[in-house]
Amino acid sequence: MQFKAGQLRRVAGASVPVFRHVGHNPGPMTGPGTNTYFLGAERRCVVDPGPADAQQVESLLRCVEGPLDVILVTHTHRDHSPAARLLQEATGAQLVGASVPDAIAQDATFVPDIEVQHGQVLELQDFSIECIATPGHVSNHFCYLVREEQGLLTGDHVLQGTTPVILPPDGDMQAYLASLAELLTRPLAFLAPGHGDIMRQPHAEIRQLIAHRQRRENKIIEALRKSGPASIDAVVLMAYDDVAEHLLPWAAKTLLAHLIKLEREGRALVRDENWELLTHEGN
Ligand SMILES: [Zn+2]
């Protein structure tokens, strides 16, 4: 089986091997489980250790062959970073990531030793990693580029088989689209997402994701044009009619992210919890 919990597989990389460990946390929001990546022939660097349960940490420690130097986290949602502290206690590795924002579903235990900066390059034993700020899904999200491979570890910024939820106010649709556009300017050979499989056509994937958001925005504008002022609960039924019912509460949050973007652009406004288009959009 391709995604077997606890299994370590080499999934990418020629000179810098990229190994994937699948977490013991499959589910509607995590797909087959959180992907943890071990980088380099000696696996001394790990990205996104995942949830802090004993089984996960034990399983990760089995993947560490010698010393572990660095633990990177893409962001601090509870399915990505909580095992970092436990893994650090067991190995002494340095924690690298961005501090936890004041937002929901965050891992308050994560305290980085190195506060990651946009453009920072980490020189590891036999390869280097460029840290790229990619706010949007959450404000403290970073992607990590294995420079020798042009391979990008995308966390929840780009997922395989699904699109990330954007949870306002910390999640920000404008920032998300700008972060995607920034990635398009770079040469990329593969994307290694936080959930799902390796993607070998990075630019096509990123362009599809931008087009998907644009189509959704168009649907939201169309729904508001037909309905006039409407609540989030009403708009979500119209603009997300292709989404399974149990996912609608999440869709409503991403819808709000779209509406906030339209509001900032002067294209929509909210009055008494009802959203409406500004006149020029309604025509
Ligand atoms: Zn996340």
pLDDT in tens, 75-92: 999 999 999 999 999 999
* Residue 277: closest CA among 240, 237, 228, 236: 228
State which fold the 8-200 domain adopts: Metallo-beta-lactamase; Chain A (3.60.15)
Interval between CA 150 and ligand 1 midpoint (Å): 23
Interval between CA 75 and ligand 1 midpoint (Å): 7
- CA dist 236 to 72, 165, 221, Å? 36, 14, 12
pLDDT above 80 (res 31): yes
pLDDT-derived band at 2 (thresholds 50, 70, 90) equals confident
Q: In one letter, which amino acid is 4?
A: K
Interval between CA 60 and ligand 1 midpoint (Å): 20
Q: Checking DSSP bridges between strand 35-39 and strand 18-22, what pairing results, if any? A: antiparallel
pLDDT-derived band at 279 (thresholds 50, 70, 90) equals confident
Interval between CA 36 and ligand 1 midpoint (Å): 13
* Distance from C-alpha of 21 to C-alpha of 7, rounded to nearest angstrom: 6
pLDDT-derived band at 105 (thresholds 50, 70, 90) equals confident
- Which residues of the chain are in CATH 3.60.15.10 domains? 8-200
Q: What is the mean pLDDT of residues 197-206?
A: 98
245: which DSSP letter?
Answer: G
Interval between CA 135 and ligand 1 midpoint (Å): 11
- Which residues of the chain are in CATH 1.10.10.10 domains? 218-282
* Distance from C-alpha of 17 to C-alpha of 210, rounded to nearest angstrom: 29
Contacts (Cβ under 8 Å, ≥6 apart) of 221? 262, 267, 277, 281
Interval between CA 280 and ligand 1 midpoint (Å): 36
Interval between CA 114 and ligand 1 midpoint (Å): 20
Q: Which pLDDT score, from 0 to 100, does residue 282 have? A: 52
Alpha carbon of residue 62 to chain centroid: 26
Interval between CA 277 and ligand 1 midpoint (Å): 30
CATH architecture under which domain 218-282 falls: Orthogonal Bundle (1.10)
Q: Both tokens of residue 273?
A: 């919890």
* Residue 37: closest CA among 193, 240, 236: 193
pLDDT above 70 (res 281): no
* Distance from C-alpha of 81 to C-alpha of 186, rounded to nearest angstrom: 27
Alpha carbon of residue 118 to chain centroid: 16
At residue 69's C-alpha, the angle toward residues 32 and 102, to 5°, is 60
* Distance from C-alpha of 146 to C-alpha of 127, rounded to nearest angstrom: 7
Mean pLDDT (the chain) is 95
